[in-house]
């Protein structure tokens, strides 16, 4: 070992310099790795915090159909011509919920009686709050109503406003069932129908089933 040191001093010097450069490289690499780890540690919580709200804001959609029974809303004091009938029929509806409390509902009803019929197309905001499988909700809808008079006298289309609510029950991840109630106000009905006492205020009771699009 001593012989080699004396005979080849330049090799020793080169070896020392190489070792020194290697140590410097390792130090630099370790420093860079430490800085990168620290940076990732600082950024990760923000990245996680931004991803979570995005997942929560996904759009929840359900599309379904209903069977309905209704009081057409004709006042008891109406003449024999208008009378008071019970209606039955069906409808379709969809809800679009971009938020965990607020959403939008669109629906249509077609209701038939012995002499008259009522059809509505309504849409508006809704508020809901889940309790396990139960999701109670309230809604305010605005749209168009079409009333068909008895004896084929004619039809009348007016603006309709509906105040309603009900409960959706989540059977599973894909199927919901609901019970629903609407109190409607058909604006200007008395002004357009001669000798009609009061307003037309239908009340609609529905049960339905919907497919939940995840």
Taking only the tens place, the pLDDT of each residue in 154-188 is 899 999 999 999 999 999 999 999 999 999 999 99
Alpha-carbon gap, residue 58 to 147, rounded angstroms: 38
| DSSP letters for 78-93 | S-TTT----EEEEEEE
Q: Are 103 and 126 in contact (CB under 8 A)?
A: yes
pLDDT recorded at residue 197:
76
Q: How much is the pLDDT for 199?
A: 80
Distance, in Å, from the CA atom of 102 to the CA atom of 97, rounded to the nearest integer, reads: 6
pTM: predicted TM-score of the whole model, two decimal places = 0.70
pLDDT value of residue 191: 87
Using the structure block, give the residue that is written with the tokens 């009686």.
Answer: 113
What's the CA gap between 86 and 72, in Å, rounded?
A: 7
What's the mean pLDDT in 117-144?
97
Is the pLDDT at 34 greater than 60, yes or no?
no
Using CA of residue 151, residue 155, residue 160, residue 162, what is the dihedral sign? positive
**In the predicted model, what is the mean pLDDT of residues 138-142?**
98
* Cα(112)–Cα(9) distance, integer angstroms: 110
8 Å CB contact between 180 and 128: no
């Amino acid at each position: 070992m001593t012989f080699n040191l004396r005979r080849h001093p330049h090799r020793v010097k080169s070896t020392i310099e190489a070792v020194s450069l290697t140590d410097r490289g390792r130090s630099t690499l370790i420093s860079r790795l430490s800085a990168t780890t620290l940076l990732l540690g600082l950024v990760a919580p923000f990245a996680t915090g931004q991803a979570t709200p995005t997942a929560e804001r996904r759009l929840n959609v359900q599309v379904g159909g209903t069977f309905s029974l209704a009081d057409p809303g004709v006042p008891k004091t109406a003449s024999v011509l208008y009378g008071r009938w019970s209606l039955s029929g069906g409808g379709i509806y969809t809800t679009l919920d971009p938020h965990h409390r607020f959403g939008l509902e669109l629906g249509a009803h077609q209701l038939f009686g012995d002499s008259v019929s009522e059809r509505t197309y309504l849409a508006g905001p809704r508020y809901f709050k889940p309790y396990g499988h139960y999701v109670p909700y309230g809604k305010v809808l605005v749209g168009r109503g079409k009333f068909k008079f008895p004896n084929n006298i004619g039809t009348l289309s007016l603006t309709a406003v509906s105040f309603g609510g009900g409960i959706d029950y989540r059977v599973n991840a894909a199927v919901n069932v609901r019970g629903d109630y609407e109190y409607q106000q058909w604006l200007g009905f008395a002004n357009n129908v001669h000798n009609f006492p009061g307003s037309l205020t239908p009340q609609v009771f529905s049960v339905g089933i919907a497919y939940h699009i995840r």
